[in-house]
Structure 1
Amino acid sequence: MGGIAHIYTLKPSKGPKGPNELSGFSGPKRQLNRSLSGVSRRHGKQRNRDLSRMIENIRHRRPTKPISNENGSLQILFTGWIHDAPKIRKMLRRKHRFSSNQDGEVVLHLFEELGEECVHKLEGAYAFAVYSTNHEIGRESNLGEPGEDAGLSVNSEEKGEIFIARDPLGVKPLYISENEEIVCIASEFKALSDITPDFMEFPIGSYYYASKRADRGEKFVRYHSFSEPVNPAENEEPDKLLVNVETIEDLKEAKSGLQELLEDAVNKRIERGHPLGVYLSGGLDSSIIAALTAQEWDGVDSFAVGMEGSEDLLHARMCAKYLGTKHHEYVYTLEEMLEVLPTVIYHLESYDVALVRSSIPNYFLARMASEPGKVVLSGEGADELFCGYPYMKNLSEEERESEAYYLLETLHSTGLQRGDRMAAAFGMEARVPFLDLNLVDFALRIPDSMKYGPSGQEKWILRKAFSHLLPREIVSRKKKKFSIGAGSFDLMAQVAEEKISDEEFEKNRVTEAGHKLRSKEEFLYYKIFHEFFPQRAAEEAVEFSRSL
């Protein structure tokens, strides 16, 4: 759980530099080079003040504290969870002394043993940075409790080396700004926007390794990809993780495999000793997760929201009664939607219409479920894996396969961003069993014929695999967008039409970053977004969904 914010010096600045003297690098989206020159010239108390502001901007995420290795030569800032942490810890105890039970300390010692290859041993959702400190290697230090310096992680000595990684699907958010002298990272870009005008989203399934030592080549390395399957015989990089290309043709194998893998995925994400809840819209995906959770956690709390008379409230109530969950629901109004809209956009860090629309009910959902440290499980990811979006039915089989990989690669900036940001706004962590990597690999091997079935019904194989756990009405319920099911789909569009004149819209239709706004509703959201985040980099960090 928690978030991270960090300012790290690779080498000390020798004073102001000209515009061409900061080399930077060509990252995945654009070059980051001059933006941190002011930060790199600030030292001591001023840099600590910068970091304090960064941390304050993500205080709602309950920022984590640095953890040191035994001699203090390395520290880690870690957010997330690692499934096999107890097993890895047991293996590492032969060589390392642990001072906490935190997953981050496991990752730190694993990095000491394996270097950048440690990412191939990790299963879970995570973002972390391991960095050298001003302690000399081998020197013993008197360490207190892990993270006793309250998350203020700034080094200013010459020894500079930092390794940063993000999980394969980008379940945990991360942003970065860097040049040859300094690296800044944060779980949300609002933490960076106060100190630098230039930043970008850290690429998913990638790591970054920077040092003041000899050049290591490209700093960003993609270690896990959901690109379309490669035949092992044609693979030129046999050590790289590949998607299994063997298609599952047997219906019984597909059903039993999904049952086993999803049950396991839910169990991995239940953390005993922490409060637990499930989001329950009454749709197929969230109902399956609720059913599997209820088998493991008697009387688990379930949460549903919607406007008066909405379909989601009705179906969620029915499902909760059937499963025996302790059900909670909240009915919201248009006035409440307008009241929370600026707060939603601030936390969401986006003005994408579909994302904002669905985040408003998600905000009410998280607020109702809120309890610091709580884990909430959701059905996110099933539509991407099992052709749940209506438009996919109009694609060819080959196009659908490509679309599935595209949706997985961009989920971090759509559904996952919505779920993470709204939960984090209330100090909670959203976990997504459908996006367990073992399940993802298995689902990608299931053919179209099983995902649509004989009658062309979307997510047919999911319905068949879990029909024994759910009411018939839930099993047969068609896919509805979250905002439609909650009853608030087009209300904001009507508000925007009333508030914004044609003249104002046409005059301001092109944003400062050159994006042409597609509707008055998008303009309404953009105006609020721009007030919070006027930086061009903030706008360029926004991606647009085509599925939500």
Structure 2
Amino acid sequence: MCGIVGAFSPQKPFDKLPFTTRNLDRIHHRGPDAQGFYVDDHAMLGFRRLAILDLAGGGQPLYSEDEQIVVLINGEIYNHHELRQRLADHHRFRSRVDGEVLVHLYEERGLDFVNELRGMFAFALYDRKKRRLVLGRDRAGQKPMFYQWSQGSLRFASEIKPLLQDGDKPAVSRAALAEYLRFGYVPSPRTILEGIHKLPAGSVLVADAGTTPRTIDYWKLRFSRDDGRTVPPREAEQWCKDLRSTLSSAVKMRLESEVPMGFLLSGGVDSASVFALGVGGLDKRRAQAFTIGFRGAPIDESEAAAEVTRRYEAKHRIIHLERSEATSLDEILHRVEEPVSTDALLPTACVFEAVSRAKVTTVLSGEGSDELFAGYTKFARATRDPELERVGPLERYLRHEEFVFTAEERATLLGEDIVDPRFDELEREARELDPLSQMLLLETRLRLPDRINLRLDRTSMAHSIEARAPFMDHGVMEFAATLPHAVRTGPNFNKHALRHAMRDALPEVVLSARKAPFHAPDTWFTDAGQDEALLGPDAIAEAGLVKPEPVQALRARARAGDRAAQERIFSLYVLHAWHRAFYRRLCA
């Protein structure tokens, strides 16, 4: 797990160094153990290392035998042993680090090499002979890659901050603002800043001499139309058996580590399943689970989590936080770098702070399950609401999200109607599916990479922790996409397939529990003084992101108890907290 900074000038040599160690130091938290560089007339690659495998000999950059191929990789290649064994007859490996297989796979297969990788990763590969740079991102979008193309030069990094030279003042993108108001985050390839892009999940960007960089999709999760049939018990049992086998394989391949490892355990079926399938593969002295709770929160799953760990006789750390112990929202948003309208930001950051204090470097988590097995109540509402039968897939998907704004509301807030056709192709694909499959397609293409994984990556890496999510293994995702809905959800949309698959491995208190939201008490996010400081008319006018008048009207509705208005106000609160915490600090 690491951080990457780089630049590439395919047509002409650099006039001056495109970045310095100061740029790399901005992501020191992603790799506090070591750094490395490669520099020539056309490319400059910088690397910060968080050592997980081959602690002594796994530094980067990584090279081919003739040093014509140079690679930096952030993340893990979980099938590297299998790939290494196949490649060893024809290539010489210099280390035991997993990322070295990329060098030799590229030599063997060219750009198709990425199809053989199983893992979470973002990489930069420089082919000196062809004067080509390839950037890549894993299928689920677990690891980030940002880039900007300007005046014939490509700059890229694991986070936004290293891309910005001192004094840079990029504009806030109006199109991205519209998308934030529509989704609660900014979907790839945009970012909130003009001119800086996110490489989409499951794609590579190729920059060759003489051409404009092009993006190529190498993987997309596909869903088929479900016919609504009843599944016989014997067939349903086999589906669940195969699900458990597939998930177990994904968990086991994520247990390789030469540093202390733990599990994030909320008490829900997702993280409990990962824990139950993985704890047996570790020495009990090394296996420990982390559960966090919040003083004053309406829901506390710590006892359910404790029952899981008692069953497996594993070490368990339960941390109950006071508000005074929690990281501020401003600090979290400065780390996350983009506005994300979710109340899970704060508790996720607190979990990783606790893991860091325990000196654990790698954890397994349960993220990705709800998006595959329809774990949110919105799925049931959206597929059972007769009013949605006549609307398009995106409207159906977003209608029950109270924190997002309608097209009319967005136009009022922004003072203009910003219509972007870039989602038309995705919507056409979704129209061929049944309502639930439409929801799952949009959830895994949009929300999973650009909201869930944005939060998971930034809050973990801020504390130099690698978070591995077995549900986002592409084998698990592809299997889940084939499940009949009768098996996936059951009659009650309670992740029936996963609960049934794990029924002999988890206590009843977990198997029978309903989905519980992961958030801190509402009062931990906002107070009256901060609300006025961020959303008062003068503050809104000064920030210049949205119009002040509709915000004040919305605040009045929220104070009167309108739940939808309260959710929308929270989105605007996060947006303006981001502007204060990240944008103003960046451009000061």
Whether the TM-score (by the shorter chain) exceeds 0.5 is yes
Q: Secondary structure at the match of 1:6?
A: strand
Range that drifts further, 96-105 or 370-379: 370-379
1:503 maps to 537
The alignment status of 1:488 with 2:521, answered yes or no, reads: yes
Deviation at 1:107, TM superposition (A): 0.3
Deviation at 1:320, TM superposition (A): 2.2
1:445 counterpart letter in structure 2: T
Question: CA 1:392–1:537 in 2, change beyond 3 Å: closer, same or farther?
Answer: farther
8 Å CA contact retained: 1:193, 1:535: no
Deviation at 1:173, TM superposition (A): 0.9
Return the alpha-carbon distance in structure 1 between the equivalents of residues 334 and 109 of structure 2: 39
Structure 1 consecutive aligned stretches of length 4 or more whose deviation exceeds 6 Å: 246-249, 535-538
Return the alpha-carbon distance in structure 2 between the equivalents of residues 368 and 278 of structure 1: 12
**Offset from partner CA, 1:430-489 (integer Å, 9 cap, x none):** 1111111111111111122223324x1420121111121111111111111110xxx424
- RMSD across aligned C-alpha pairs, in angstroms? 3.0
1:256 maps to 241
1:418 counterpart letter in structure 2: R
8 Å CA contact retained: 1:58, 1:191: yes
Q: Secondary structure at the match of 1:414?
A: helix
1:475 maps to 511
2:311 maps to 322
Return the alpha-carbon distance in structure 2 between the equivalents of residues 479 and 510 of structure 1: 38
Return the alpha-carbon distance in structure 1 between the equivalents of residues 246 and 499 of structure 2: 15
**Offset from partner CA, 1:272-327 (integer Å, 9 cap, x none):** 43311000111111111111122222431100111126412232223222332211
Q: Secondary structure at the match of 1:353?
A: coil
Question: CA 1:425–1:294 in 2, change beyond 3 Å: closer, same or farther?
Answer: same
Deviation at 1:365, TM superposition (A): 0.8
Return the alpha-carbon distance in structure 1 between the equivalents of residues 320 and 213 of structure 2: 51
Return the alpha-carbon distance in structure 1 between the equivalents of residues 470 and 579 of structure 2: 34
**Offset from partner CA, 1:125-171 (integer Å, 9 cap, x none):** 111111134xxx6xxxxxxxxxxxxxxxxxxxxx7321111111111
Return the alpha-carbon distance in structure 2 between the equivalents of residues 323 and 400 of structure 1: 36
The alignment status of 1:43 with 2:42, answered yes or no, reads: no
Deviation at 1:51, TM superposition (A): 3.5
1:529 maps to 578
Q: What pairs up with 1:438-457 in 2 under 5 angstroms? A: 438-454=475-491, 456-457=492-493
8 Å CA contact retained: 1:283, 1:474: yes
2:279 maps to 294
Deviation at 1:223, TM superposition (A): 0.8
The alignment status of 1:75 with 2:67, answered yes or no, reads: no
Range that drifts further, 492-501 or 296-305: 492-501
1:6 counterpart letter in structure 2: G
Deviation at 1:91, TM superposition (A): 2.1
Query: Unaligned 5+ residue runs, structure 2?
Result: 32-47, 50-59, 171-194, 385-433, 552-566
1:442 counterpart letter in structure 2: F
Return the alpha-carbon distance in structure 2 between the equivalents of residues 57 and 332 of structure 1: 29
The alignment status of 1:55 with 2:12, answered yes or no, reads: no
2:164 maps to 193
Q: What pairs up with 1:363-512 in 2 under 5 angstroms? A: 363-370=349-356, 374-396=361-383, 398-410=434-446, 411-454=448-491, 456-483=492-519, 487-489=520-522, 491-495=524-528, 496-497=530-531, 502-504=536-538, 507=541, 511=545
The alignment status of 1:222 with 2:217, answered yes or no, reads: yes
8 Å CA contact retained: 2:6, 2:156: yes
Return the alpha-carbon distance in structure 1 between the equivalents of residues 110 and 535 of structure 2: 57
Query: With structure 1 as the length reference, what TM-score do the two structures score?
Result: 0.77
8 Å CA contact retained: 2:240, 2:501: yes
Question: CA 1:71–1:101 in 2, change beyond 3 Å: closer, same or farther?
Answer: same
**Offset from partner CA, 1:487-541 (integer Å, 9 cap, x none):** 4245424555465565346646861799x97744444433342245439999xxx
The alignment status of 1:353 with 2:341, answered yes or no, reads: yes
Return the alpha-carbon distance in structure 2 between the equivalents of residues 412 and 466 of structure 1: 26
2:323 counterpart letter in structure 1: L
Q: Secondary structure at the match of 1:482?
A: coil
8 Å CA contact retained: 1:190, 1:533: no
User: Pick from 112, 118, 137: which aligns with 1:166?
Assistant: 137
Range that drifts further, 264-273 or 190-199: 190-199
Query: Unaligned 5+ residue runs, structure 1?
Result: 14-39, 138-158, 232-245, 539-548
8 Å CA contact retained: 1:294, 1:324: no
8 Å CA contact retained: 2:223, 2:481: no
**Offset from partner CA, 1:361-395 (integer Å, 9 cap, x none):** 11111111126772210000110111100011022
1:326 counterpart letter in structure 2: K
The alignment status of 1:105 with 2:100, answered yes or no, reads: yes
The alignment status of 1:341 with 2:322, answered yes or no, reads: no
Return the alpha-carbon distance in structure 1 between the equivalents of residues 281 and 480 of structure 2: 23
Deviation at 1:57, TM superposition (A): 1.0
Question: CA 1:501–1:110 in 2, change beyond 3 Å: closer, same or farther?
Answer: closer
Return the alpha-carbon distance in structure 2 between the equivalents of residues 208 and 501 of structure 1: 39
Return the alpha-carbon distance in structure 1 between the equivalents of residues 267 and 90 of structure 2: 49
8 Å CA contact retained: 1:129, 1:165: yes
8 Å CA contact retained: 2:348, 2:456: yes
8 Å CA contact retained: 2:221, 2:477: no
Query: With structure 2 as the length reference, what TM-score do the two structures score?
Result: 0.72
Instruction: Using the aligned pairs only, state the percent identity.
Output: 26
1:119 maps to 114
